[in-house]
Amino acid sequence: MADKIVRIGTRESPLAVWQAQQVQRLLTAQNVSSELVYIKSEGDTDLVTPLYTLGVQGIFTKALDTALLNNRIDIAVHSMKDVPVQLAEGVKQAAVLKRGSCKDVFVYKDKSTLEKIGYINGQWAMNNGQWLTIHSSSLTIATSSVRRIAQWLNRYPNTTIENLRGNVNTRLRKLKESAWHGAIFAAAGLERIGLRPATAIDLDWMLPAPAQGAIMVVCREGDEAIFKTCMNFNDDATALCVKIERDFLKVLSGGCSTPISALVEVKNYDVAFKGNILSIDGKVKVEIAKTIFFNKANQLGKIAGEEILSKGGDKIIEQIRNAAR
C-alpha cells in the first residue's frame, strides 16, 4: 500500500466531499496516499422527483458502485443510510466510521411556528411521558423523506407537506426563499459542513433512518490490501449498532418508499433498540423497544423485525405495496 495512491470515490455535494475527506485524513494517518474522484449519482441529477416516488434502491450509490467495479476507484464513501441493505455483487463493506449525530432537526422560519408545533421554552410538549399529537391546520413544512413525512403527520396530522430535494446548501436556500414554516434535515448533514442554523431544533421525538449519521466505506471483494487498511479505522460500536438497525430494515424489506425507523444505542453492557413502521399518511404506527445484553445483541435487529411484523407491521407493508401497484 505504501506506493499506491488510493482513489476515493465520492459524490460532488459538499457533504459527500466532507465525508470523503474524513476518510482521506484517516488514510493519511496510516501514511497512505489518496485522491478524490468525483462521480455524479442519479439522485444528484434529478432534484425534482420526490425520492419516495422514484422507487429506486441505491439511487445515491449505484454510480459509485459501478465506478468501483469498473476499477475507476478503489473505495467509495457513502452516507450509510443511503446504502441498500444488500450490497451490489462484488462490493464489500470495508469500514464504518464513528457515528455522528443520528437526529433529525426542524429548521423553522419564524419563532411563532414553535408554539404551533408544541415546542415551548425549549422543550417538546408531553403528557405523562408520551409525545403529544398537535392539531395545527396552518402548518406547511418541507421534506422529501417518506419516513419523516409519516412521523411528522402522525404528530401533526393536518400539515401540508412540500417536496424538498437537493444537497444541504440547496435545500437551505429553497427554505429561505419559500413561504414554508420550516423543513426537516439530518443534524449530521448540517453540522458536518458547518451549516446548522440557529433556528434548528432537534426532533427528539422522531426516530431516525437506520444507520443515519454513520459513514460507510466500501471496496471491491478480493481487494484484501484495501480492506485491511480501511478496517484499521472501523468503529466497532457503531458497526454493531448500524448492523442491527439495517437487519431490522432488511426483515421489513424496507426501501426509500417505506416509513421505517430504527435506533440502537450501547449503554454500558446493554444494547437498547427502538424501531417503528408507519403508514404513509402517518395514521397507523407500530413500534417496538427492546434492551438486550451486549454479547447477545447480534440477532437483535432480526428479532425486532419479526416481532414488529407480528404486531401489525406486515399489514402496513402490504398496504404500501398494494398502493404502489
For residues 229 and 81, state if they share a domain. Answer: yes
pLDDT at 43 over 80: no
The answer for residues whose C-beta is within 8 angstroms of residue 302's C-beta and 6 or more apart is 247, 248, 250, 251
3-state helix vs strand vs coil in the chain, percent to 5: 35, 25, 40
For residues 251 and 266, state if they share a domain. Answer: yes
Please compute the mean of the pLDDT values over residues 69-87 and round it to a whole number: 95
Residue 313 lies in a domain: yes
Question: The C-alpha cell of 284 is what?
Answer: 397507523
For residues 183 and 224, state if they share a domain. Answer: no
Least confident of 49-63, 82-96, 192-206, 258-272: 49-63
Q: What is the total count of domains within the chain?
A: 3
**Of the residues 179, 202, 225, which one is the last residue of a structural domain?**
202
For residues 25 and 73, state if they share a domain. Answer: yes
What is the DSSP pairing of strand 126-127 with strand 130-131? antiparallel
For residues 115 and 190, state if they share a domain. Answer: yes
CATH number at residue 82: 3.40.190.10
Q: What percent of the chain has pLDDT over 70?
A: 92
pLDDT tens-digit readout, 198-246 = 999 999 999 999 999 999 999 999 999 999 999 999 999 999 999 999 9
Catalytic residues: 82
pLDDT tens-digit readout, 306-323 = 999 999 999 999 999 888
For residues 163 and 198, state if they share a domain. Answer: yes
For residues 249 and 221, state if they share a domain. Answer: no
Residue 209 lies in a domain: no
